[in-house]
């Protein structure tokens, strides 16, 4: 009876009644509201998901893409979210992607869906640049699990942060810049193949992981990282700025939605792999992993309460978030091992009451993929927490993974959060994170969108690929766990400290971007870029871009600090090593440390 009482107490904290749980578990009553009945052949993904098959008239598909793009091209801080899904077949369309738009195939292989035309992102007008065009704010969109046969000379994908390309086969040339030398600020490709040339052009930084490149990768500005990439350019940092690792130490690809041979919707869950290179699917490979029916998922809709979502998770469901914004009065709690949370069409979790958006217990195998987290007006201590403080369970055989999870403090509205992401669970895999304290949009200012730190890693044996953390008011990243590994790091310091006194750390002027805790004995990082642009007209200095214990097993490879613009700058790259980048454009590079 004591165990039952504890269960009932927990259920009440979730905001539901014990009778509702009993009825639902017994199958005597369906969940109410937007937990509408659906079948594995025809799930209800809501009004902002468009599913097409080869019998759909081309004009209808093209008209829908044009309509979404017209609405989303400049809707950077809006609340609309969209996903366009293709069943296996060939499609002759020009899919231009604006903000919060995902295009994905529903096959088991990217080659099951072949888009003849383009799945493209183009540059935006930028009167402030000599080129008159840039991709510096082309965020929050994605292409996944399809092939593209360009009918123009290339497939253009001119993006910056939070715009991943996963499981994509480009049957031709891939062009990653906006054109005319316009600025672009970094992106991410994984489990993909490019048959032709990849024109990197003006991309300041980029991570390509576990992929296959064809003819050649051209150009690069400061920090280009290749991890487990067949056909990658040779190691060359700092000139050319290539960091090349032959294999990726531990990976697990992002879950994806597909339709099986019987027409039923399922979610594929790729297996954990070690020391990998190339794609999981090329050359007739059958990707290893397991598959779950869509019937095992609670398909959430905007307007669903946190209590309703938590009830579904408590009853053993996984969670699929359809496009939209989910306002939460309490955290989503993940208590069960192997739970999957998959976002469709860039959904946002928005905690409104000063609590976390997502709390994950220290259990095996949780997968969170494809979601935004937007801080609310009431300050949260933490937006997403993985595991429990002081817990060190071994999850090496089945780790938790975070993939394409993006945080915002300000931008769509005033937001406040002391820390965006705290990872306590050992062995966690972080795979493409952008934690961003907004530098433009709504509610922006030193005393408005307040946030101390982007990412704090307390767990041991955590591996991060593609860690983008920007503009927080103290340290951007703090790494306290042992044997951590970062493969690619990109960070701009805050633009807006009003004075040096307002931005001084316990170890000197300013705050380092990437800080390894003083007690850490072992850490490895490859390909790190830290940039300054202090725009308040005040001489602001950071004593160093990276701060770490000086010991033989805390090792850094291929680092750069850059003065972008503004005033002040960064005095040293790591600890006391490196040259100043202060007062005017300049770079400081270090190949290895110590």
Compute CA 498 distance to the chain's CA centroid, rounded to the nearest angstrom.
30
Backbone angles phi, psi at 473, to 5 degrees: -90, -10
C-alpha distances out from residue 178 to 129, 133, 319, 385, Å: 12, 7, 36, 36
Please name the residues in contact with 76: beta carbons below 8 A apart, sequence gap of 6 or more: 99, 137, 139, 411, 441
Q: 294: number of CA atoms within 13 Å, CB side?
A: 24
Catalytic site positions: 492
Q: In angstroms, rounded to a whole number, what is the distance separating the alpha carbons of residues 450 and 575? A: 27
C-alpha distances out from residue 265 to 6, 85, 184, 302, Å: 36, 12, 37, 21
Q: What is the DSSP letter of 201?
A: T
Q: 259: number of CA atoms within 13 Å, CB side?
A: 19
Residue-wise burial string across 262-293, b where 16 or more C-beta atoms lie within 10 A, e elsewhere: eebbbbbbbebbeebbbbbbbeeeebeeeebe
Please name the residues in contact with 476: beta carbons below 8 A apart, sequence gap of 6 or more: 435, 453, 454, 455, 469, 470, 491, 493, 511, 513, 514
Q: Which of 423, 180, 173, 401 is nearest to 270 (CA)?
A: 401
Backbone angles phi, psi at 181, to 5 degrees: 75, 15
Strand partners, 477: 455, 514
Q: In angstroms, rounded to a whole number, what is the distance separating the alpha carbons of residues 232 and 256? A: 26
Radius of gyration of the chain measured on its C-alpha atoms:
23
Please name the residues in contact with 69: beta carbons below 8 A apart, sequence gap of 6 or more: 96, 97, 98, 101
Q: Which helix (H) or strand (E) holds 59?
A: helix 58-72
- Going by their DSSP bridges, the two strands 223-227 and 242-245 should be labelled as parallel
- Cβ pair 105, 144 in contact under 8 A: yes
Q: Which of 321, 362, 314 is nearest to 345 (CA)?
A: 321
């Amino acid at each position: 009876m004591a165990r039952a009482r504890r269960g009932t107490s927990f259920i009440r904290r979730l905001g539901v009644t014990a009778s509702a749980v009993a009825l639902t578990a017994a199958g005597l009553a369906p969940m109410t509201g937007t937990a509408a009945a659906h079948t594995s052949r025809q799930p209800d993904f809501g009004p902002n998901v468009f599913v097409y098959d080869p019998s759909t008239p081309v004009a209808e598909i093209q008209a829908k893409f044009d309509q979404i793009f017209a609405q989303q091209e400049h809707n950077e801080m809006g609340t609309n979210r969209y996903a366009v899904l293709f069943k296996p077949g060939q499609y002759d369309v020009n899919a231009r992607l604006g903000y919060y738009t995902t295009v994905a195939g529903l096959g088991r292989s990217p080659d099951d869906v072949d888009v003849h035309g383009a799945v493209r992102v183009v540059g935006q007008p930028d009167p402030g640049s000599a080129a008159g065009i840039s991709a510096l704010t082309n965020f929050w969109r994605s292409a996944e699990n399809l092939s593209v046969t360009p009918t123009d000379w290339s497939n253009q994908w001119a993006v910056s942060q939070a715009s991943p390309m996963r499981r994509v086969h480009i049957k031709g040339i891939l062009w990653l810049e906006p054109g005319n030398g316009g600025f672009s600020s970094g992106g991410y490709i994984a489990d993909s193949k490019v048959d032709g040339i990849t024109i990197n052009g003006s991309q300041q930084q980029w991570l390509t992981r576990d992929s296959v490149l064809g003819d050649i990768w051209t150009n690069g500005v400061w920090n280009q990282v290749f991890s487990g990439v067949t056909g990658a350019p040779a190691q060359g940092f700092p000139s050319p700025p290539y960091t090349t690792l032959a294999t990726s130490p531990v990976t697990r690809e992002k879950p994806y939605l597909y339709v099986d041979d019987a027409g039923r919707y399922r979610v594929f869950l790729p297996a954990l792999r070690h020391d990998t290179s190339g794609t999981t699917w090329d050359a007739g490979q059958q990707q290893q992993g397991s598959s779950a029916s869509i019937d095992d998922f609670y398909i959430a809709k905007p307007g669903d309460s946190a209590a309703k979502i938590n009830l579904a998770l408590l009853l053993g469901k996984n969670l699929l978030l359809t496009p939209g914004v989910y306002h939460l009065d309490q955290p989503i709690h993940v208590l069960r091992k192997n739970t999957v949370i998959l976002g469709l069409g860039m959904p946002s979790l928005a905690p409104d009451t000063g609590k976390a958006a997502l709390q994950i217990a220290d259990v095996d195998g949780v997968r969170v993929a494809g979601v935004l987290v937007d801080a609310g007006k009431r300050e949260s201590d933490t937006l997403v927490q993985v595991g429990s403080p002081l817990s060190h369970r071994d999850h090496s055989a089945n780790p938790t993974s975070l993939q394409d999870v993006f945080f915002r403090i300000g931008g769509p509205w005033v937001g406040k959060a002391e820390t965006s992401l705290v990872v306590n669970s050992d062995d966690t895999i972080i795979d493409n994170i952008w934690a961003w304290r907004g530098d433009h949009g709504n509610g922006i200012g030193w005393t408005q969108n307040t946030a101390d730190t982007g990412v704090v890693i307390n767990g041991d044996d955590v591996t991060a690929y593609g860690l983008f953390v920007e503009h927080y008011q103290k340290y951007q990243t703090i790494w306290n766990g042992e044997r951590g590994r970062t493969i690619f790091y990109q960070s701009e310091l805050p633009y807006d400290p009003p004075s040096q006194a307002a931005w001084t750390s316990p170890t000197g002027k300013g705050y380092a971007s990437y800080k390894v805790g003083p007690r850490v004995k072992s850490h490895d990082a490859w390909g790190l870029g830290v940039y300054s642009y202090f725009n308040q007209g005040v001489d602001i200095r950071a004593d160093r871009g990276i701060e770490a214990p000086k010991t033989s097993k805390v090792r850094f490879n291929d680092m750069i600090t850059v003065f972008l613009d503004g005033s002040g700058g960064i005095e040293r790259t790591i600890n006391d090593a490196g040259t100043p980048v202060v007062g005017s454009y300049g770079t400081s590079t270090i190949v290895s440390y110590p």
